[in-house]
Amino acid sequence: MGRLFGTDGVRGVANADLTAELALGLSVAAAHVLAEAGTFEGHRPTAVVGRDPRASGEFLEAAVVAGLASAGVDVLRVGVLPTPAVAYLTGALGADIGVMLSASHNAMPDNGVKFFARGGHKLADELEDRIETVYEQHRTGEPWTRPTGAGVGRVTDYVEGFDRYVAHLIGVLPNRLDGLKVVLDEAHGAAARVSPEAFARAGAEVVTIGAEPDGLNINDGCGSTHLALLRAAVVEHGADLGIAHDGDADRCLAVDAAGEEVDGDQILAVLALAMREAGQLRRDTVVGTVMSNLGFKLAMEREGIQLVQTAVGDRYVLESMKAEGYALGGEQSGHVIVLDHATTGDGTLTGLMLAARVAATGRSLAELAGVMERLPQVLVNVPDVDKARVHTSQEVAAAVAEAERELGHTGRVLLRPSGTEPLVRVMVEAADIEQARTVAGQLADVVKSALG
């Protein structure tokens, strides 16, 4: 069996890859593994279970709840809420485990199961591996030890979760949003109720699009992966800014008053300066990934803020932040983590904090985002090559060195083997888009000939 857990839980086509049987089995396995690890010691265990609005989330939620309760875990079912809300409630309610059913920005037919440990943090890799092992042992015949009578878990609908999460968001904002007009694109996803409620309670005038989930329309031509509708709506309504979430609202991208995109790097730049000003940017450091735009790095250098770069993936950003005690980190895709207030990327919180900065300064989002110049990035995928040799080939190394000499201080080259396919990604940044394209093409040719 290949590894079930990816970088963000177990994900696949619902009812094909991710079946009710798999969801139930993993939930029982998770309960047993956490019991073995001593998580439940001395008390009756509790779980928080939430989902995004996908149709398949209905039967998968039922399977997860059944699995946990059958293993003796009491379940608080919070219904449709964002992933960061489930993480927050897991911590706030002192639960032993949190489970979110979502495939984030993926298309509607997909779904996923993501587990949180006590405190609302992602499960450690070794626990995920153990859950897989235990699940596989029992799938092939070894019977579970099952509680009976009063030992089975009880299931309760925790309807207070919505208000409790919104109150948390409002409570951590540095200032109100009175006087701002904001368009919110909810991707017909998990934040369709939460985000408009939070912005309105914070004082903003709110216009919503993509906020009518029917179980089938999540991420369909809207949200953070499709910004065209938001751009048009911001201009049409004369709004100060627009905020776009993905299906489970752990991401946030923005649009300024002219309809221009403000990406995750720019959002990080704005928040880094705001948090430093407030004395909240610990060690004057922000965490990004190797794919962070060079313009972001140059802007942070100019402002006296250190940028720590990790491998691509918000889990690596979070690991670095927790290990070193940094307060802010994120990715170009809009995963932004404010560790004092969230244990994971929180798109609604990010959007609120960005809007709060606009309100506090009286400056437009375009002006604030202008702290960094987003340098053109060209990405070329080179397929059917021996990706394992990309960092050992002398021919490739010589071509990279030559490209870096040509680009100088205002350009950058990054070669990355794909984690899932036999290809190498060639990324080139330069102040001039044509130069970036030329250099990327030349490097791709060398990679193809040297590693093909």
Q: Could you list the residues known to form a binding site for Mg(2+), using ranges.
A: 104, 246, 248, 250
* CA separation, residue 175 to residues 245, 284, 337, 353 (Å): 22, 22, 19, 9
Answer whether 373's CB lies under 8 Å from 429's CB: no
Answer whether 92's CB lies under 8 Å from 168's CB: yes
In the set 104, 195, 224, 333, the catalytic residue is 104
- Cβ contacts of 320 within 8 Å, gap of 6 or more: 287, 308, 310, 326, 329
Element (H, E) at 416: strand 412-417
Active site residue 104: yes
Give the Cβ contact number of residue 250 at 10 Å. Answer: 34
Phi and psi torsions of 4, nearest 5° = -75, -45
Answer whether 450's CB lies under 8 Å from 407's CB: no
Answer whether 244's CB lies under 8 Å from 78's CB: no
* CA separation, residue 88 to residues 117, 164, 172, 304, 340 (Å): 11, 10, 13, 32, 12
Helix (H, G, I), strand (E, B) or coil at 279: coil
Q: Measured between alpha carbons, how far apart are the two ends of the chain, in Å?
A: 30
- Cβ contacts of 129 within 8 Å, gap of 6 or more: 5
Helix (H, G, I), strand (E, B) or coil at 22: helix
Give the Cβ contact number of residue 1 at 10 Å. Answer: 9
Active site residue ranges: 104
